[in-house]
Structure 1
């Protein structure tokens, strides 16, 4: 239990979907410290993800989010409300989250999203500034750093960009990545995404150079994977 009695270790709630994440290994000897908080007004669970590292434990969460269960596929989701790539340690100093740690963390979060569910993640933070610029420049979501990450962890069959908060109440801008409902859904959406990436890569002169340097390799990587899975030219 944390000092705030509204929060508890996820492992202390064995029936909760997030419980298996508490103590999970990431990479480089880093482990996950997952804590459950109060319920939101609609019954979703607030959660925090801290890290235990060789240099100590983080005193602030790397992720603050929400998780929801429901009777229908679309009611099952995870949302990262805040993400921090640099977090303080209890022994002093900071821990810089590597790409490997970030991917492993998101992979664990994605593991609790069932077929037809979705994974939402903010892109208003400093760590997501390149994704924000790329989306503003109309780069396909899956070719942005955040979108490619969601694709890698299985929640990128399709995307919705919440670039304007709905009704002013939905918090920061966020990217919503969907897990395929079934193989047919994955193939249909995958071929659509491949066509969109082909069109994007054909317009090589329309982006700022620093955006091209990041988004084009991501687009080529994802396109190659989609063609490997589903064919096409």
Structure 2
């Protein structure tokens, strides 16, 4: 385990740790993650990742900082406490495009087991659209951050910790199994369909961002419910 006197170490020193799966993960064309871990406290391991590419080298600051907890069900979780929309490199800084953002979140979701959750901050400027949307009552799955969590399998249900515990974080849950995923679909579908019928009061830019995400989630949820209906079709 990492020594507390040396806060960050290359993940290569603890290659059996689950977050080692992220080290070297390609998240863009020729862009990879370089992961470091810290000393575990209360069963959770802090870790962070830099971006690395052949053209630009390694970023001078991490793109995200997080904590990982291994366990069964709800004891399996990742919490991202910081996420940078821009990262410094030698000679300037680079913006994190949406494609890399999604690939990073997909990698993080891979650390979350069935029944676990992935929690992402939305206090940063990079997540300002999600923050505005949630404040205006947009369902989490129809926000940019929630839409990505939904797409990577950590969106069976959501808890907005900005509303619950004073933390500007969105928690997305991975279903226990397919039956659990399907059982959650009607509630979320109702919420999204209500939103589509009442979204005209939103700021115009939020409508442009959130309505397509809601439509995409509705399509997926209807498909899940269609599979359930066919499974019980006796004709």
Output the TM-score relative to the length of structure 1: 0.91
Distance across 1 between alignment mates of 2:153 and 2:193? 21
| CA contact 1:23–1:31 (8 Å) conserved in 2 | yes
Give the secondary structure class of the aligned counterpart of 1:231. Answer: helix
Give the secondary structure class of the aligned counterpart of 2:159. Answer: strand
- Paired residues in the alignment total 223
Q: Deviations over 1:165-206 (max 9, x none)?
A: 73x6xxx41000000001111001122211111111011322
Asked whether 1:228 is paired with 2:223, we answer yes
1 or 2, which has the higher helix percentage?
Answer: 2
Gap regions ≥5 residues in structure 1 = none
Q: Which residue of 2 aligns with 1:216?
A: 211
Two-structure CA RMSD over aligned residues (Å): 1.7
Runs of 4+ in 1 over 3 A off after TM superposition: none
Give the counterpart of 1:203 among 193, 198, 202: 198
Report matched runs for 1:1-233 at 5 Å: 5-40=6-41, 42-53=42-53, 54-70=55-71, 72-89=72-89, 91-164=90-163, 166=165, 172-231=167-226
Q: Deviations over 1:106-157 (max 9, x none)?
A: 1111101011000000111001111011101111000000000101111001
Distance across 2 between alignment mates of 1:128 and 1:48? 18
Q: Which residue of 1 aligns with 2:230?
A: none
Distance across 1 between alignment mates of 2:77 and 2:199? 35
Q: In 2 relative to 1, CA 162–51 (structure 1 residues): closer, same or farther, beyond 3 Å? A: same
Q: Deviations over 1:15-51 (max 9, x none)?
A: 21101211111121100101101223x2211111100
Gap regions ≥5 residues in structure 2 = 228-235
User: Alpha-carbon deviation of 1:159?
Assistant: 0.1
